[in-house]
């Protein structure tokens, strides 16, 4: 991105920072969508988490060259990533509701 090859010691914190920025950005988009299209909140955020997992882990991250192809990972890795993103989706909805109530 910045015409600079990251070293191993730079890659780990950069990857973590990118992950948090992506999570915060997708959570903010979810919050806006929930206000405009109330069906967005169906099933307590589970579909949102699944969509984030599918798009990020299986399309965007490999397309950007930040990970191997999804077919190169064992099913257990995909199951763990999906379950983690489902928890993220539910947590995002819980936080959204709490913030909305506080406003």
Q: Tens digit of pLDDT for each residue in 10-63? A: 888 988 998 999 999 999 999 999 999 999 999 999 999 999 999 999 999 999
pLDDT band at 3 (very low <50, low <70, confident <90, very high): confident
Q: Identify which has the larger pLDDT, 98 or 15.
A: 98
Q: Round to whole Å and give the CA distance between 23 and 27.
A: 6
What backbone phi and psi angles, to 5 degrees, belong to 74? -70, 160
pLDDT average, residue stretch 62-81: 94
Query: 68, 64, 57, 71: which is closest to 26 by C-alpha?
Result: 57
Q: What one-character-per-residue DSSP string does 41-77 give?
A: GGGGGHHHHHHHIIIIIIIIHHHTTSS--GGGS-HHH
């Amino acid at each position: 991105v910045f015409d600079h090859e990251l070293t191993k010691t730079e890659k780990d914190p950069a990857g973590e920072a990118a992950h948090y920025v992506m999570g915060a950005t997708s959570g903010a988009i979810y919050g806006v969508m929930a206000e405009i299209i109330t069906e967005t909140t169906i099933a307590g955020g589970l579909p949102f988490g699944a969509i984030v997992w599918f798009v990020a882990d299986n399309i965007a991250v490999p397309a950007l060259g930040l990970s191997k192809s999804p077919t190169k990972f064992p099913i257990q890795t995909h199951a763990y990533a999906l379950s983690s993103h489902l928890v993220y989706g539910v947590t995002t909805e819980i936080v959204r509701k709490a913030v909305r109530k506080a406003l």
